[in-house]
Structure 1
Amino acid sequence: MSKKRFIAGASCPKCHALDTMALSKEHDVEKVSCVKCGYQMSQPEEHVEKDIRSNEQVIGVFKP
């Protein structure tokens, strides 16, 4: 079992509970889950993310 790190100030998109979202990593995939209702999200696969990014247009770059 992997270690979970809680995300401060995050609310669950399903049950809207505050401070219940935990980040864990399984098989090199980051997963976010709600400890209250069990809702889960995972990081998109790399080839999907590349396809999405290649079609986006950048309108500006912020350099602090």
Structure 2
Amino acid sequence: MKQKKRFIAGATCPECKTMDMMMLYKEHDVEKVECMQCGHKMAQPEQAVQASTRQFEQVIGVFKPSD
């Protein structure tokens, strides 16, 4: 399956300071950003991904099978 990649308009690379060269893509359900100029990569830390996912979950009930 081909990976979908998008450029982020107006984004500046924190490493080489080049504008409009940052590319966003998903790898194993984690968003990653890579500079096409210098190759600098950034990814959202695993803890932040899990925290943002769990924040919006709601527990309706807990199933407890009887012994």
- TM-score, L = length of structure 2: 0.66
Amino acid at match of 1:40: K
Alignment of 1:53-64 (within 5 A): none
- TM-score normalised to structure 1 length: 0.69
Give runs of aligned pairs for residues 1-64 of structure 1, distance below 5 A: 1-45=2-46, 48-49=47-48, 50=51
Deviation at 1:8, TM superposition (A): 0.3
Q: What percent identity do the matched residue pairs reach?
A: 60
Q: Which runs of 4+ in 1 moved over 4 A?
A: none
Q: Distance in 1 between matches of 2:3 and 2:13?
A: 21
| Structure 1: gaps (5+ residues) | 51-64
- Residue in 1 that maps onto 2:56: none
Question: CA RMSD for the aligned pairs?
Answer: 1.0
Look up the equivalent residue of 1:17 and give its one-letter code: T
